[in-house]
Amino acid sequence: MSFYAFIALGSNLGDSRRIIEQAIIRLREFSDQPLMVSSLWETAPVDCPPGSPMFVNAVIRLQPRPNETPESLLVKLQAMEKEAGRQPKKVLNEARPLDLDLIAFGNEIRNTPQLILPHPRAHQRRFVLGPLNEIAPDLLLPGQSKAVAQLLRELPPSGVVNKLA
């Protein structure tokens, strides 16, 4: 039986659009099927230091390879972030060239110091739910009783969220 992993991509440092597009190409290496890819979105920073640049965000769906675990995929995502120039955090939610968040991995649930699945705030974030709604509107994140499309409709209006051409 196949299942999918969903990864949110974000960038607000450097050529964000190019960085996200290159990350999507790299993420194909981790999937047994073609990726499902949302549009790119420009979004206002959330819970970031004052004056933080706008983000470019997207969400992809991939089919993990047979022996992949959420933890092994997380290690690969963190390595990609470092390769893109991400530095260890000095300030919470500071600008970064690449941020890859594992939103869901099938129906897996984790709560360890390294990984919380599903992502603990994905269901509250327009910059995740907007792109996710494009590729998986009927997805039920583990622990949620409402599908992505309904979660998105019920969010209060917030900040700038524009689909990029």
Q: Is 83 helix (H, G, I), strand (E, B) or coil?
A: helix
Active-site annotation holds for 26: no
Active-site annotation holds for 28: no
Count other Cβ atoms within 10 Å, centred on residue 155: 13
Q: Choosing from 17, 26, 101, 110, which is the catalytic residue?
A: 101
Q: Choosing from 26, 32, 47, 99, which is the catalytic residue?
A: 99
CA 67 → CA 10, 18, 88, 112, distances in Å? 27, 30, 29, 20
Q: Choosing from 26, 28, 47, 86, which is the catalytic residue?
A: 86
Residues near 120 by Cβ (< 8 Å), separated by ≥ 6? Answer: none
Active-site annotation holds for 101: yes
User: Quick one: tokens of 97?
Assistant: 């060239």
Farthest-apart Cα atoms in the chain, separation:
46
Q: Choosing from 17, 32, 47, 96, which is the catalytic residue?
A: 96
Q: For residues 13 and 11, what is the distance between their CA atoms, to the nearest angstrom? A: 6
Active site residues: 86, 96, 99, 101
